Copies of this chain bind each other. A is one copy, B any other.
């Protein structure tokens, strides 16, 4: 398994994340769109995820809470478009920083051994992007994807 690549070029409002998974596209897509699966992997290991709403269709909304000893973090957004097994475009807002909404495009590509996930996030400003990078987002993404490896192996 290759690791997670996170790129955040200085002076830009973008973050790009690339990760490969040893599972076919439909399995990876389901893990991103079915709430019972999403809650098993998204975010760092030390928290519990409660999903309040998760309607992964074009025009649908989502809202969830991450709970850990260090606090409670609420997130929400809308799905601009959900294209089966290929692409999801959605907004993302941490309710602790209201109004700092980012737009995420996730693309799935078939590879030799499975599926490549690429997520491109665009923030409303370079400062908002820098604040997200400084928040410790990286470990959450890396640990989340490790949990997704485990979930995909279990489901296979």
Residues of B within 8 A of A125 (CB): 14
The reply to whether the CB of A43 lies closer than 8 angstroms to some CB of chain B is no
Contact B80 A91 (CB under 8 A): yes
Provide the main secondary structure of the chain A interface.
strand
Residues of B within 8 A of A3 (CB): none
In A78-134, the 8 Å CB interface with B consists of: 78-81, 87, 89, 91, 93, 99, 101-103, 105, 120, 122-125
Give the distance in Å from the alpha carbon of A20 to the alpha carbon of B149 in the complex: 52
The reply to whether the CB of A26 lies closer than 8 angstroms to some CB of chain B is no
Give the distance in Å from the alpha carbon of A103 to the alpha carbon of B89 in the complex: 11
Contact A99 B87 (CB under 8 A): yes
Contact B80 A79 (CB under 8 A): no
What is the distance, in angstroms, from A10's C-beta to the closest C-beta of chain B? Answer: 13
The reply to whether the CB of A61 lies closer than 8 angstroms to some CB of chain B is yes
Closest 3 CB pairs of A and B: A59-B61, A103-B103, A80-B91
Q: Which residues in A have some Cβ–Cβ distance to B below 8 Å?
A: 12-14, 58-59, 61, 77-81, 87, 89, 91, 93, 99, 101-103, 105, 120, 122-125
> Can you report 13 residue pairs joining A to B where beta carbons are below 8 Å apart?
A13-B14, A58-B61, A78-B80, A78-B91, A80-B101, A81-B93, A89-B91, A89-B101, A91-B91, A103-B103, A105-B124, A122-B122, A122-B123
